[in-house]
Amino acid sequence: MQKIAVVTGASSGIGAATARRLAGEGFHVVAAARRADRLDALVKEIGADATAVACDVTSDDSVAELAATVAGLGGPLALLVNNAGGAIGLDPVATGSTRDWQAMFDVNVLGTLRVTKALLPALEASGAGTIVTVGSTAAFTPYEGGGGYVAAKHAQTALVGTLRLELSGKPVRVVEIDPGMVRTEEFSLNRFDGDHERADAIYAGVAEPLVAEDIADIIAFAATRPQHVNIDRLVVRPIAQAAQHKVHREL
Ligand SMILES: NC(=O)c1ccc[n+]([C@@H]2O[C@H](COP(=O)([O-])OP(=O)(O)OC[C@H]3O[C@@H](n4cnc5c(N)ncnc54)[C@H](OP(=O)(O)O)[C@@H]3O)[C@@H](O)[C@H]2O)c1
């Protein structure tokens, strides 16, 4: 029976690229996100090696349905990629919106908790499970205006580090991938509420930001090492970004 990989946030960006890549690596991919139309198109493109599941990671019931669908497929659950997430706004702490902060915590932190909890029994039962969580360089470096996202990504990495300790002795690897600047179609656009000008400014003059396929490649690499090899954490940036604030721009 084909090994199963669940990818959250698979309707765009890094998640969609990861779903395509993992299908190419021989997994049956369960592509989860809220927008069913985009998932259906993706699954159609991938073919028989994928299943679309409309899922909102901020809802316990929705995540329970995802787990039930995965169980119904009958194969071993080998891989979970916790990728659903994102940032809202660039407000300083002084004027931070509690609503935006709550939304960022719900998707990035509690979403990772909900999906991990729901699928952990199946990952363990497979005898060779892997959980890859997509964090961010914001998980360890604050930046001005990033407060809510930085705090959420710090919390997400705390969850991942704790989980690795708690699973000691169990057959489940716990991996974190922390990307720097990745130019995906929607991340910055969502952050700035659809404002193309502000979204484009993030990447202005950066010759080659990372693209979704670069991170999909890293996720596939980590997930396909021999099972005794646990890559705790990989930080991945474009060459133009030597550090969070040190971005080479050709303007
Ligand atoms: N782009 C970057 O520069 C960058 C850098 C570092 C880390 N990251 C992290 O990488 C991950 C993917 O980012 P991306 O750049 O690929 O962004 P993206 O293109 O905006 O994709 C985000 C994905 O998350 C899904 N999602 C959002 N809320 C959800 C919810 N409540 N339930 C289920 N799915 C949800 C979205 O699908 P639906 O809207 O259809 O639900 C979408 O598929 C995120 O965790 C982000 O924080 C991104």
Determine which residue's CA is closest to atom 2 belonging to ligand 1.
Answer: 182
Confidence at residue 47, expressed as pLDDT on a 0 to 100 scale: 94
Is residue 237 over pLDDT 90? yes
Is residue 77 over pLDDT 90? yes
184 within ligand 1 shell (Cβ under 6 A)? yes
* pLDDT tens digits for range 157-187: 999 999 999 999 999 999 999 999 999 989 9
Confidence at residue 251, expressed as pLDDT on a 0 to 100 scale: 86
- 217: containing domain: 4-247
Over pLDDT 70: what percentage of the chain? 100
Q: Mean pLDDT of all residues in the chain?
A: 97
Over pLDDT 90: what percentage of the chain? 99
Q: How far is the CA of 45 from the centre of ligand 1 (A)?
A: 20
34 within ligand 1 shell (Cβ under 6 A)? yes
* pLDDT tier at 1, thresholds 50, 70, 90: confident
115 within ligand 1 shell (Cβ under 6 A)? no
Which secondary structure element, helix H or strand E, spans residue 199, and what is its range? helix 196-202
Q: The whole model's pTM is what?
A: 0.98
For a mutational test of ligand 1's pocket, the pick from 6, 7, 11, i.e. the residue with the most ligand atoms closer than 8 A to its C-beta, is 11
Confidence at residue 205, expressed as pLDDT on a 0 to 100 scale: 97
Q: Tell me the mean pLDDT in the region 96-108.
A: 98
The structure tokens listed for 75 are 């194969």
The structure tokens listed for 76 are 């071993």
* pLDDT tier at 98, thresholds 50, 70, 90: very high
Three-state secondary-structure class, residue 63: helix
7 within ligand 1 shell (Cβ under 6 A)? no
Question: What percent of the chain is helix, strand and coil (3-state, nearest 5)?
Answer: 45, 20, 35
What span, in angstroms and rounded, lies between the C-alpha atoms of 189 and 184? 9
Q: How far is the CA of 235 from the centre of ligand 1 (A)?
A: 18
Is residue 150 over pLDDT 90? yes
Q: What is the CATH number of the domain that holds 200?
A: 3.40.50.720
- Number of compact structural domains in the chain: 1
Q: Tell me the mean pLDDT in the region 133-140.
A: 98
Q: Say which amino acid occupies 127.
A: G
Is residue 121 over pLDDT 80? yes
Q: Tell me the mean pLDDT in the region 143-162.
A: 98
Is residue 66 over pLDDT 90? yes
